Amino acid sequence: MSGAGPSLRERAIRLLAQREHSRSELTRKLNAHGSADEIEATLARLGELGLQSDERFARAWVRTKAARFGLARIRHELARRGLEREVIEEAIALEACESEMDRARAVWAGKFGNTPQDRSEWAKQARFLQSRGFSAGTITRLLKESPDESA
């Protein structure tokens, strides 16, 4: 580590002060500033001190995104951030309190609010919900509901 700039530890702490990061994200962001061994040692120490936690990152991410996305999208995004399946599933179990159907209904109501009147509108609404990571079964059930059924 050179004296030309902040240490790896300082850089990592600065990143963590902005928001939670997964270990994988921090590794990627610190790659240009140290060797793989230095980065690994720094992140191991931050983990020991409780300053970095993949579990805490996953729970925070699910808590902020669950109202807008389906479980498929949540799982995909967390896996993309380098988290293990067990960590992802635990975070979803702890933080995604509403059912998939309730979340899909809320997302759909915020965007559309009216049941589709024809095939084209149905397809448009289904594509939107699919892009948010809701399952085909959830989308089909939701778009077949009449507005008074959801109450």
Q: How far apart are CA 78 and CA 35, in angstroms?
A: 25
Closest CA to 20 of 72, 65, 85, 76: 65
Q: How far apart are CA 15 and CA 43, in angstroms?
A: 12
pLDDT digit string (tens) for 77-129?
999 999 999 999 999 999 987 889 999 999 999 999 888 999 999 999 999 99
Q: Are 43 and 23 in contact (CB under 8 A)?
A: yes
Q: Are 25 and 53 in contact (CB under 8 A)?
A: no
pLDDT digit string (tens) for 17-45?
999 999 999 999 999 999 999 999 999 99
**CB within 8 A of 142, min separation 6: which ones?**
101, 104, 105, 108, 129, 134
Q: Which domains does the chain have, with CATH numbers?
A: 1-52 (1.10.10.10), 53-97 (1.10.10), 100-150 (1.10.10)
